[in-house]
Structure 1
Amino acid sequence: MGGGRSETSALSGTGGGRGVTTQNSQRPNACCFCWCCCCSLKPAGMEKHTPAGFTARGTKPSVEEIRLWSQSFDKLMRNPAGRNVFREFLRTEYSEENMLFWLACEDLKQEANKSAIEEKACSIYEDYISILSPKEVSLDARVREVINRKMQDPTPHTFEDAQLQIYTLMHRDSYPRFLSSNIYKALIHGGSRTSSES
């Protein structure tokens, strides 16, 4: 990859790949993953590791909170401690990238600055959409094609369809296993013992 020469990269879609050419001299931070203004950023979703069952502040969730998580996936995902515990579970199933992608999309939706939106969108694409990424999430060809089109002018909602697809995948696939996992059972039993001792 020398400065100033053209490079072509294929983007996946339903009709096979299509070549996209970028000039490195015009876009010094362009990469082979997408045609937008990718640059070296801290990867999305690189939060501090929090032990299972604890919030970022280090406090355990209440028994009531933990029990609410079994009532619906939405309640689990709306609760920061619930997301942390579920993310820990996903890590054991080697599918933590689903939660990291979902969180990165939530972060992007809060962004208003145009250049920050472009940078975050490119980072999300590189980290979770690119077929070359080790953290690639599982998306169907239609959604990938929509993302590739939207990446020409990214907005906070560029990954909305993909985020919904991954949310649904976690809900239908991982969530039922989470509720019967040792991680969740240990929280329920640990919380029940604590509340009965008080």
Structure 2
Amino acid sequence: MRAAGGGDPAGASPLAGGLDRGTCMGSERMEMRKRQMAAAPETPGAPPTQHPVGDRGSNACCFCWCCCCSCSCLTVRNQEDQRPRRASQELRAEDLPACEDSPAPTLEEVHAWAQSFDKLMITPAGRNAFREFLRTEFSEDNMLFWMACEELKKEANKGMIEEKARIIYEDYISILSPKEVSLDSRVREVINRNMLEPSQHIFDDAQLQIYTLMHRDSYPRFMNSALYKDLLQSLSEKSVEA
């Protein structure tokens, strides 16, 4: 017969002990189950796990599921996207018309170029030298447009006038052209209206604007350029030797 107040020597009830042992055993079972699931191979024939990438899949590379990665796959893809763009720029550079045929300028002619822009532009040698300078400033299209307008003025055949006017418009007037020249909106509106029935003088106002732009903006820099000074010095030295 137990004394009053007596109980389990450990001071814990059988129910509490059972709960503790059950909880431990349950935790062990769950841990073992997790290990088995992690170690178990995939069932043969089962489809691989699919990753929900949505619309980003087309932008992701072979190892990444996000579209913001900067791995080598995206670098190669960006380089491939730029190849056609670079090729088109090289083709445009190759398609530029050759310089005009002209004899070498004399010392007197080169000195005359410094007197006025008109004297520079009136001779093929002057236009060639100025055009070479414009190429270094990436503004050669201004000269090409001016020269194309000069050629259009010489045309008498109506069909050829329309064809040349269309080509000039697409190359130098259209806002979609990489060779577009800088013109104000008034001149553009007049050209757009007159393109329905173009004449030899459809671009006269535009040609004058570009001529004035070259005169005020590019001509002073050309006169101070190494290109002009080297040419002048070379001709001066040849004149002294002669």
What's the TM-score bracket when you normalise by the shorter of the two chains? 0.7 to 0.9
Q: Deviation digits for residues 96-141 of structure 1, max 9, x if unmatched?
A: 0000000000000000000000000000000000000000000000
Give the 3-state SS of the residue equivalent to 1:132 in structure 2.
coil
Aligned to 1:185: 229
Q: Deviation digits for residues 85-105 of structure 1, max 9, x if unmatched?
A: 000000000000000000000
State the identity %: 67
- Higher fraction of helix: 2
Aligned to 1:148: 192
Q: Among residues 172, 188, 204, which one is paired with 1:160 in the alignment?
A: 204
Give the 3-state SS of the residue equivalent to 1:60 in structure 2.
coil
Aligned to 1:111: 155
Q: Among residues 97, 100, 105, which one is paired with 1:47 in the alignment?
A: 97
Between structure 1 and structure 2, the one with the greater Rg is 2
For 1:1-198, list aligned pairs within 5 A: 46-48=96-98, 50=99, 56-57=101-102, 59-198=103-242
**What is the CA–CA distance in structure 1 between the aligned matches of 2:110 and 2:236, rounded to whole Å?**
10
How far is 1:170 from its partner? 0.2
Q: Which runs of no fewer than 5 residues in structure 2 stay unpaired? A: 1-94
- Higher fraction of strand: 1
**What is the CA–CA distance in structure 2 between the aligned matches of 1:130 and 1:94, rounded to whole Å?**
18
**What is the CA–CA distance in structure 1 between the aligned matches of 2:129 and 2:101, rounded to whole Å?**
11
Residue type of the alignment partner of 2:139: S
**What is the CA–CA distance in structure 1 between the aligned matches of 2:96 and 2:138, rounded to whole Å?**
16
Give the 3-state SS of the residue equivalent to 1:101 in structure 2.
helix
Aligned to 2:43: none
How far is 1:46 from its partner? 4.3
**What is the CA–CA distance in structure 2 between the aligned matches of 1:146 and 1:67, rounded to whole Å?**
39
**What is the CA–CA distance in structure 2 between the aligned matches of 1:71 and 1:62, rounded to whole Å?**
15
Residue type of the alignment partner of 1:61: P
Q: Which runs of no fewer than 5 residues in structure 1 stay unpaired? A: 1-44
Using structure 1 for the length normalisation, give the TM-score. Answer: 0.73
RMSD: 1.2
How far is 1:60 from its partner? 2.0
Size of the aligned set, in residue pairs, is 148
**What is the CA–CA distance in structure 1 between the aligned matches of 2:115 and 2:224, rounded to whole Å?**
13
**What is the CA–CA distance in structure 1 between the aligned matches of 2:101 and 2:230, rounded to whole Å?**
19
Residue type of the alignment partner of 2:134: L
Q: Choose between structure 1 and 2 for higher RCO, CA contacts under 8 A separated by at least 6 residues.
A: 1
Residue type of the alignment partner of 1:86: F
**What is the CA–CA distance in structure 1 between the aligned matches of 2:239 and 2:115, rounded to whole Å?**
20
